[in-house]
Structure 1
Amino acid sequence: MTRSTRPGRYRNPILPGCHPDPSICRVGDEFFIVTSTFEYLPGLPIHRSTNLVDWEPIGHVVHREGQLDLAGLPGSKGLYAPTIRHHEGRFFVVCTVVVPAPHQAAPPEGGWPRAGHFLMTADDPAGPWSDPIWFDGLDGIDPSLVFHDGRVWLCGNRLAAPGRWPGQTDIWLRELDPVTFAVIGDEHLIWHGALEGGAWAEGPHLFPRPGGGWMLVAAEGGTDRDHAVCVAYADEITGPYTGDPGNPRLSHRDLGDRAAIANVGHADLVDDADGRTWATVLGTQQLVDDAGRGANGLLGRQTHLVPVDWERGRPLFAPGIGRVHPEMAADGLPDQQPWPTELVDDFDAPELDPAWTGVAVLPASFAALGERASRVRLRATPAGPTDLEPFAFLGRRLPDHRVDATVVLELGGTGRAGLLLRTSERAHLELAVDHNGVAVATLVDEGERSVIGTLTDVPAGPVAVEARIDGLHADLFVADRPLGGVDLSSLATGRTSRFVGTWIGPFAVGDGWADVDRVELRIRR
């Protein structure tokens, strides 16, 4: 890792857009992060860095047809909280496919996709990754792997049954066969959280403790304002674990809505080559008003970085401040490079940028390059943004709170196409032009549809569709003509089981196609 003679300055989050539930590992001088993607494919992106603050995307764990099925899942279900580890020349990612509980939704005809914990492996983190190895009979979410002294362990969490209070969660540990990864041995219940009456002890990771024994790092309090990082210690990996008397070791729960970064928790640890310890943590960038109060925006939950020191065998997260700040400095880091303020795709590359995703399907199922020069053709689908069936939406993470987003496209056949801001099938903004030259802006809030504005004489041929986003407000335009402004609060992170931020990009619905000439995302600082 690059050494620095003074503390290096960097921004939090360290990845732009919605990258929740970060997990990290190091191999030599390189670091690798994997994050959750829920219903989007390709899934589980891998980022690589040599200095912890400048990251490049290198691939996805779930990246090819037939590898994993997410068809029919509603928003914020699917791929939850992966963990990445490296052992004896091979990379390992464990994750969970989550489907709705019986009280949340009735399954479609044919049932939900296969749910549960799985393992995928690769020699190169850029891929290809293996087909899944499933762990049958293990409940819950958030699995994590530990390799130690020739043995392999898997830990995870599940709701206690029966629980002594709502949301009581048990963290369990099982041994795996080191060759087949089959579950062997007895279950060990090693933790139910730091706070009696506290909920959702999640995201567990186990580490050898400096000086001997083991340390469990877990999230607690849910993923909103009460989120926190807690730790516990044991002499043996199987426990019993005793909570740190200073828990939580990192949290912004005491700041409430008054934090620039809120909902801090879900930590993973890594040591650099010089022996320093670092933590990736989940957090949410807030939109802070003049009175100092924050509100959730559209970017969702994101990946942040803090240094970790040790005192008497106990971790100090962000030592000296105990906070995750938007601007930080730490020894051993270079100054972070600036992020680009323009993301322009004119589709003249031989392959789609891997940042483009589909909802429960790979983009290749509906998007094709080469039908026309420097364009991507979206094959329109009968299903649209409110449906749980596959539909033609080429989306990517909204990168900033303030973005001018433009899609230039031409519609063929019958139907409609345009720009979509999507948080889920029940929360999105559609700005579309149909084959009759009618443009309509529509907001869907918890399934309720409202029309924001209409134009009836959009000229034929390529048309520019634009949303100028400023926090929780957007001004909408078609062919440089205004359709009005819209409050985007209903798309924001924070409602129950809304774990994903907003994705943005072109879509096409109906019978025909849309040729997309260009997508521009211009960030306003």
Structure 2
Amino acid sequence: MKISNPVIKGFYPDPSICKAGDTYYLVCSSFQFFPGVPLFESKDLINWRQIGHCLTRKSQIQLESVNSSGGVFAPTIRHHDGRFYMTTTNDTTHQNFYVWTDDIYGEWSEPIFVEQDGIDPSLYFEDGKAFFMSNGTDDQGVGGVVQCEIDIETGRKLTPSRSIWQGSGGRYLESPHLYKIKGTYYLMAAEGGTEYGHMVTYARGNDPFGPFEAYPGNPVLTNRNLGGYEVQGVGHGNLIEDDRGNWWIFHLGFRQIHRWLTYHHLGREVFLAPVTFGEDGWFQAGHNGTTLASFETDCIPHGVTQMEKKIDTFENTNWDLDWCYLRHPHHENYRLEENKLTLKGTGVTLDQADSPTFFAIRQKDFNAVISCDVSINHGEAGITVYMDENHHYDLAIRKIGTGYEVIKRLNIGDIKSVEKVVELTGGNRASLVIRATSTNYSFFLRAEEQEIDLGSAQSRYLSSEVAGGFTGVVIGLYAQSEGSSNEAEFSNFCCEYL
């Protein structure tokens, strides 16, 4: 069958996967968005359904006033003795921790902290022992992939942290994971930075603490030399074996907006590539060591079809799964109904590293039509295509004096500019439309079966190459108000991917 990448679209970076019974589970990083660490399940490795989040309570993660791309970094999910573990880093507080659950559909524990530095922590279990690794500095000040044995009940270190591998020579060694396959230990990592030079590398040895011999063909997977190719930034991989003995690597990558325009704004997404082991015990990944936008395989069971959802609405999405807040929300400002959303605006705006009244869904493809009816009684409310507090485009209705107007505002770094204003003559309700392509967002006011064109803006100014950071564009519904109370009502929301 033909598999299309990415298998999970939109801002779902740093994937990690495990298997329990006949089901696969996958988690991704979430940074300043809440709830934290989206959790997915699949029976076939290509069709994924979100079933929850690992961090759903304020007590589990500190997100107050964290800057964009701070907060929750790359997670790892593992299943051992009937229990699931998810370990991650709060990069803002520089703490590595893990949570656990015996019910994958239920709540996760309070965090258990491990006194080891670095990011991208991972767990490995063997013979009643739990090993904790991260990329950082060991107890002797030596950098690299650092590992210790811990008491899994308390997180207490049972051995000193020790640097066990320094990588293959690329910058920003990260994302370490340890596997035991046919009696050999494989240590996989990422190097090159999570940009265009990203790559997956690995080494192998006969003991969990090494020494490790680097794969002679490193990097085992990278698209760093594929100029003019849509899929870039390939790295941060996790291995998994399916029920039929086939091996796969799940990893992040991103889609640039055009063959010759090196910008990406949808975020880092989840990609899949096949893995094959040679007779010498070394494995190879992808197509000649690269990840393709699509590939043919006979390793997926016959009859499986890759499905894709093309329309998101209030009615067919789940408030608790598909939507997210900025940092910890003030729930009293949100009223969530089956086909309507009511937001109470405050003085906190989208331009602050705070918690504005904001509810968002990830943009999952380049070409889309986003529409929503919005009404207000005061202040401002509308739709934002949001990368971070300094980079977002807003299409909104606001009250001016005794009347109302629709505005298009561009926020690019230090430039905050209202580019277009249209006076509303029919009251306090507006039908707002944004049309997206890979290179542009175009903004419209729909009135009396006509559309008033409010102009466009280039997507590149919402890209990681311009904005920096590690997130991707989300489609946000927001309300804000100075002084007076503002209740905004949103209805008929639709995001259709073309």
TM-score w.r.t. length of structure 2: 0.93
The Cα of 1:323 is off from its aligned counterpart by 2.0
Cα deviations across residues 190-245 of structure 1 (Å, max 9, x unaligned)? 112201xx3101000001133x2311100000011110000011211111222111
Of the three residues 181, 194, 203, the one matched with 1:209 is 181
SS at match of 1:183: coil
Contact 1:28/1:273, CA 8 A, preserved across alignment: no
1:265 alignment counterpart? 235
Q: What residue identity is the alignment partner of 1:423?
A: M
Q: CA deviation at 1:122?
A: 0.9
Structure 1 residues 377 and 174, CA gap change in structure 2 (3 angstroms): same
- Who is 1:152 aligned against? 130
1:507 Cα offset (Å): 0.4
Query: How far apart, CA to CA, are the structure 1 residues paired with 2:428 and 2:343?
Result: 16
Partner of 1:506: 477
Matched, 1:424 2:398: no
Q: Which amino acid aligns with 2:464?
A: T
Please tell me the residue identity of whatever aligns with 1:523.
Y
CA distance in 2, matches of 1:416, 1:11: 40
Aligned to 1:340: 309
1:11-69 CA-partner distances (Å, limit 9, x unpaired): 10001211100000011110000001110001101110000001100000011343322
Matched with 2:346 is 381
Moved more, 479-488 or 56-65: 479-488
Q: State the match for 1:125 in structure 2.
A: 104
Structure 1 range deviating more: 480-489 or 457-466 = 457-466
The whole-number CA distance in structure 2 between the counterparts of 1:365 and 1:34 is 29
Structure 1: 5+ residue stretches without partners? 1-7, 100-113
Task: Tell me how far apart the structure 2 counterparts of residues 271 and 308 of structure 1 sit (CA, whole Å).
Answer: 9
Q: Distance in 2 between matches of 1:151 and 1:391?
A: 44
For structure 2, the residue ranges without an aligned partner over 5 or more in a row are none
- The alpha-carbon distance between structure 1 residues 161 and 65, as it changes in their structure 2 partners (threshold 3 A), is closer
For residue 281 of structure 1, what is the aligned residue in structure 2?
251
CA distance in 2, matches of 1:443, 1:38: 24
Cα RMSD (Å) of the superposition? Answer: 2.1
Tell me the SS of whatever aligns to 2:251: strand
- Alpha-carbon distance in structure 1 between the residues aligned to 2:84 and 2:138: 31
The 3-state SS of whatever aligns with 1:434 is strand
Pair 1:240–1:365, CA change in 2 (3 A): farther
Q: Name 1:60's counterpart in structure 2.
A: 53
User: What do the CA deviations read for 1:58-107 (whole angstroms, capped 9, x no partner)?
Assistant: 000011343322010111111100000000111000000012xxxxxxxx
CA positional deviation for 1:337: 2.6
CA drift at 1:466: 1.3
Hey, what's the Cα distance between the residues in 1 that align with 2:105 and 2:285?
30
Distance 1:379 1:177, change over 3 A: same
Q: Is the 8 A contact 2:349 2:356 kept in 1?
A: yes
Inter-CA distance 336–16: structure 2 relative to 1 (3 Å threshold)? farther
> Which residue number corresponds to residue 398 of structure 2?
434
Aligned to 2:208: 237
| 1:519 counterpart = 2:484 | no
Paired residues for 1:54-453 under 5 Å: 54-99=47-92, 114-136=93-115, 138-158=116-136, 170-195=144-169, 198-210=170-182, 212-255=183-226, 257-289=227-259, 293-311=260-278, 312-318=280-286, 321-334=288-301, 335-346=304-315, 352-362=319-329, 364=331, 366-370=333-337, 374-412=339-377, 414-436=378-400, 437-453=404-420
1:472-483 correspondence to structure 2 within 5 Å: 472-479=439-446, 480-483=451-454
Between the aligned partners of 2:331 and 2:6, the Cα distance in structure 1 is 30
Instruction: Output the CA distance in 2 between the equivalents of 1:408 and 1:159.
Output: 52
Amino acid across the alignment from 1:275:
G
Deviations 1:330-372 (A, max 9, x none): 222144333121111159x9x72521100102474532125xx
SS in structure 2 of the partner of residue 232 of structure 1: strand
TM-score by length of 1: 0.88
* Alpha-carbon distance between aligned partners in 1 of 2:375 and 2:390, rounded to the nearest angstrom: 27
SS of the equivalent of 2:461 reads helix
Q: Distance in 2 between matches of 1:458 and 1:392?
A: 27
Letter in 1 for 2:89: T
Structure 1 CA distance, aligned partners of 2:143 and 2:192? 10
- Return the alpha-carbon distance in structure 2 between the equivalents of residues 160 and 438 of structure 1: 58
Q: Is the 8 A contact 2:370 2:495 kept in 1?
A: yes
Q: Identity percentage over the alignment?
A: 29
Paired AA for residue 394 in structure 2: E
Separation (CA, whole Å) in 2 of partners of 1:88 and 1:159:
30
Q: Distance in 1 between matches of 2:254 and 2:17?
A: 19
Structure 1 residue ranges, 4+ long, deviating more than 4 angstroms after superposition: 159-163
Read off the aligned partner of 2:2 and give its amino acid letter. R
Letter in 2 for 1:308: V
